[in-house]
Structure 1
Amino acid sequence: MPYDAMVAPHAPAAPASIPTSSVSNLDDFLVSPGSVHCLIVTPVLDAGGLDEFVAFLARRLPHFGLRVTVMCAHSSSAPVGQLFTILQREGTAVVAASPGDACLWMKTNRPDVISAHDPPGWLLKAAKDARVPVVETLHGIPTPISTNWMEERQRSELVTCFVAVSELVRRQYLSGNPAYSARAVITIPNAFNQTHRPSVNRSKARAWLGLNDEFLFLSLGRHTVQKNAYGLVRAFSEVAEDDHKVHLLIAGRLDDAVYTRQVRTLRDKMPCKDRIHLRHSFPDPSILLAAADCFVLNSFFEGWSLASMEALSAGLPTIVSDVGGAREQIGLDGSRGFVVANPVGDPESANWHSSSLMRFRPQKNMDELVSAMKSVVAHRDYWSRVREQLSADSKGRFDPVICSKRHAEVLLGAISRAMLEGEFADCPARS
């Protein structure tokens, strides 16, 4: 394998569902319980940030009265991943469907609204034919494949409205698709469902990783060009020259084996190679967050990183390149960490093409990233003292109840809009 071996940690099991204390009262329902059926669609439900957010909505929308089914819609047989199995075990209705099965399911079950997350085009067409409104969440621009704006203008006609996870994503989308109504692209910053991350004792977590007084930088993200592990490893090597107790752990799902081999080759040439650890994704990263001293993410582009928000919620000082959501999460005053320049320069110009060109070249944020990492190491005692305060502040700023309620309101609004348009669809035009 192009990443190092991994032994599963013995972290405590996550709670089977949201604790009773956080379950909504009847007064919190926006509609009669179960009267509105929401189908959440995504291509895969495994261990990525998008997957985590789909699970977040699946767990939270029922608190506002919506009945939820999650569908993994894929051009072939949909892969079953970690979160698919977990949600199923928790009692959420989860189905994996090919195009034929998905279309038949929609005709049979007639959902009232679809919450779409990187949906395939054929599913949007099926929803249009079935007159089911679609609210698509834009998790990032470009999309996971890239964005052909000419095709997107046609595709967007099948979408009732969009939710952008950050203002940067909203601006990028409307810039690329200016014909789409700006009022129909709503920004709702992501939240993180911390109830599904069990607390882990920091001392035990560090002991499990074999850490004593070493300083651990942690980066959680898929092994792919977008996350820019190559640039991060280069920057870390400069930090490691001056401090022989710093370590870097990069953990994530293997999405690009060829790129990851290049990262490993770079790592293996460095004097600090034994302190750079490449791992697969952990089923529950709580143990890594508890053990770490700083979180760092040097992505070319993001919509709104759930990994960095999870790190902040764990009380970690966080260093993130200038991508979607970075400024909202971390700010610019240094109280939560640092937003460093984007690896390509202008964050609004970062895309798959520019990322591919820069993936193995010297990057524009190298010096700034190294400086930020060295600063956190130098002020280690300070960040340790404010860890609990930073955690509490971060959890309060990105309230999961507010986020999920806003999504529920947008979904219900899409139903109302579709019903209104349906009433007048067959009426003759007024003179």
Structure 2
Amino acid sequence: MSETPPLALRFALWAQRQAYVVPAPLRRLGGRTLRRFAHPGEQTSRPGEDWSVPLVSGRGAGDLEALRPMAAEPRPSVPPRPVEVTAFRRVRCAIATGVLDVGGAEEVAAFLARRLPAHTVDTAVIYSGTRLPGQDGVGGRLARALADEGVATHLVTPDDAADWMRSWRPDVISGHNADDWLLDVATEVGVPWVETLHDMHRFYHPDSWVPEGRRAQRIAAQVAVSDLVRQQYLVRNPGYPEDRLITVPNGVDAARVRRVDRARARAALGLTDEFLFVSLARYCLQKNTFGLVTAFADVAAEHPDAHLLVAGRANDDLLYYEQTRQAASSVPSADRIHLRGHCANPLALLAAADAFVLDSFFEGWSLASMEALAAGVPVVLTDVGGAREQLANGRRGHLVANPAGNAELVDWQVINDLRYRPQGNRADLVAAMVSMIRERATWATDRERLREEAIGLFSPDESLAGHARVLRAVALGERLPTQGWRADDA
């Protein structure tokens, strides 16, 4: 794409930046109009996905995605907590999701599909799509990976989903951001539904509260991935029984935290002594990539050896990516802000990183930050779901204020208004990132401790057992487990 975008796109980008002054109904209407008018799919660029290009111009590099984990894997010295699963008979669970491509909720769904059979819950995955609207390529990366591993998968439609359920006969369905029509079909067929609340984004507008109250009447139980998400949901849907909403934190899948040689990973990116912040995040409003990039410009001005590498898909909102790209290209440190696409080898990126950072408006329980900790990388997180548990009062990184203010009162109107405006946590975020750089030697010697704590505390078996207990109880008509996990457990 040329440095000067077409006039229509320039107007659309300018209008987005001014949208906070427009009343919400007109803003929503204008947003839809601008997207049609600007044709972002044709006029915007995409982040590069060539991981053989070095971050530092003129340096040698290698194929980062080709780096494989090291063979020897020392066992962590912190033992996982004991887990007990009571099993009387096996049950069948359909793991239901929407677009099965890449993303945190989809990764959790895939993790459960792979591992629940070891906890007496047989699984199949049903999904309704492989690509987001406007997404290029074939999509469906997770769908193909699961199928290649022998996990039963099925692409369902409103016309054939009921037939599939009657044929496979699940005892329970585990929902992960699935389309509402799938819940309708499950209700029709008579299969109980357990919803997993990965975050609260659907409920950040008051108009959603009453419909959710009606929808929740058809949900047998819900699993919240963090205490903050549980609290946020009960505030917005106070009629839902508290004893049917159980906190089960996500676990670290051992297959996703194997070690990659740090020296080789940094060499593949063309790095020597530079300080590298890595952010594994989609380019979208939730992840607040624009806010992160603009804040990092302040960090880079003070520390000329600091680099920021963002890796994630941009197709969720191409205009948002274009705003972020232009913001990054407009600052003096533009050559140290690297906006890349999806990386098929995130373990190598984390091995190369000195610190991990997310400036999100909301999360349920960030898998990316937890995997960073399990790789021994300290993290900077905003106050979102799971952050307090993962950071443990500063033992594993820095917690900064939510960019929208009070994390328990986040809503879409506030988030939309702050999309391209100065945010209240910018100074805190900059200070935390600068602190990471100044304390580089300390955090470097702490990598093994961080890794062992994360793997020991966030055991995949404990997370799986928690899901299995809820799913089995619903499938067999038994009493749900008590709410036993709290943030201070971490």
Which residue is equivalent to 1:317? 378
Q: Is 1:50 matched up with 2:105?
A: yes
Residue identity matched to 1:81: G
Residue identity matched to 1:296: V
Which residue is equivalent to 1:114? 173
- What SS does the corresponding residue of 2:202 show, helix, strand or coil? coil
Distance 1:380 1:418 in 2: 51
Distance 2:132 2:157 in 1: 5
Which residue is equivalent to 2:450? 390
Does the CA contact (< 8 Å) of 1:289 and 1:314 recur in 2? yes
Cα pair distance change 1:12/1:326, threshold 3 Å:
same
Aligned residues: 407
Which residue is equivalent to 2:240? 180
Q: Is 1:266 matched up with 2:327?
A: yes
Residue identity matched to 1:280: G
Which residue is equivalent to 1:4? 48
Match of 2:152 among 90, 93, 99: 93
Distance 2:445 2:478 in 1: 52
Q: CA deviation at 1:355?
A: 1.3
Residue identity matched to 1:277: H
Does the CA contact (< 8 Å) of 1:47 and 1:283 recur in 2? no
Which residue is equivalent to 2:350? 289
Distance 1:363 1:309 in 2: 25
Q: CA deviation at 1:28?
A: 7.1
Cα pair distance change 1:419/1:138, threshold 3 Å:
closer
Matches within 5 A, 1:59-74: 59-74=114-129
Does the CA contact (< 8 Å) of 1:14 and 1:196 recur in 2? no
Does the CA contact (< 8 Å) of 1:220 and 1:252 recur in 2? yes
Q: Normalized against structure 1, the TM-score is what? A: 0.90
Matches within 5 A, 1:189-228: 189-228=249-288
- What SS does the corresponding residue of 1:409 show, helix, strand or coil? helix
Q: CA deviation at 1:73?
A: 2.5
Unaligned runs of 5+ in 2: 1-44, 52-63, 72-82, 481-490
Question: 1:324-347 deviations in whole A, cap 9, x for unaligned?
Answer: 110011022x22111100001111
Match of 1:157 among 217, 221, 233: 217
Q: CA deviation at 1:31?
A: 3.5
- What SS does the corresponding residue of 1:320 show, helix, strand or coil? strand
Question: 1:285-312 deviations in whole A, cap 9, x for unaligned?
Answer: 0110000000000000111111110111
Distance 2:69 2:117 in 1: 23
- Asked which structure has the greater RCO (Cα within 8 Å, sep 6+), the reply is 2
Distance 2:381 2:163 in 1: 43
Residue identity matched to 1:84: A
Question: 1:341-389 deviations in whole A, cap 9, x for unaligned?
Answer: 0001111122332211101111010111111100110011111111011
Which residue is equivalent to 2:387? 326
Question: 1:24-54 deviations in whole A, cap 9, x for unaligned?
Answer: xxx9774467x31110000022221111111
Match of 1:373 among 417, 433, 438: 433
Question: 1:59-116 deviations in whole A, cap 9, x for unaligned?
Answer: 1101012111011125999975211111111111011111112122012221111000
Question: 1:254-289 deviations in whole A, cap 9, x for unaligned?
Answer: 211000100000111110001000111112301100
Which residue is equivalent to 1:127? 186
Cα pair distance change 1:30/1:168, threshold 3 Å:
same
Q: CA deviation at 1:5?
A: 4.3
Q: Is 1:337 matched up with 2:337?
A: no
Does the CA contact (< 8 Å) of 1:164 and 1:185 recur in 2? yes
- Measured on the aligned residues, the alpha-carbon RMSD in Å equals 2.4
Does the CA contact (< 8 Å) of 1:138 and 1:164 recur in 2? yes
- What SS does the corresponding residue of 1:393 show, helix, strand or coil? helix
Does the CA contact (< 8 Å) of 1:299 and 1:323 recur in 2? yes
Distance 2:397 2:158 in 1: 45
Cα pair distance change 1:75/1:103, threshold 3 Å:
farther
Distance 1:299 1:215 in 2: 22
Match of 2:297 among 237, 240, 249: 237
Cα pair distance change 1:288/1:197, threshold 3 Å:
same
Does the CA contact (< 8 Å) of 2:226 and 2:249 recur in 1? yes
Distance 2:47 2:326 in 1: 11
- What SS does the corresponding residue of 2:217 show, helix, strand or coil? helix
Does the CA contact (< 8 Å) of 1:301 and 1:351 recur in 2? no
Residue identity matched to 1:38: C
Does the CA contact (< 8 Å) of 1:295 and 1:317 recur in 2? yes
Distance 2:258 2:286 in 1: 29
Does the CA contact (< 8 Å) of 1:163 and 1:187 recur in 2? yes
Q: Normalized against structure 2, the TM-score is what? A: 0.79
Matches within 5 A, 1:414-429: 414-417=474-477
Distance 2:361 2:85 in 1: 40
Unaligned runs of 5+ in 1: 16-26, 421-431
Residue identity matched to 1:11: L
Cα pair distance change 1:247/1:87, threshold 3 Å:
same
Matches within 5 A, 1:392-411: 392-411=452-471
Match of 1:139 among 178, 195, 198: 198
Does the CA contact (< 8 Å) of 1:226 and 1:352 recur in 2? no
What is the identity percentage for the equivalent residue pairs of Structure 1 and Structure 2? 44
Does the CA contact (< 8 Å) of 1:227 and 1:297 recur in 2? yes
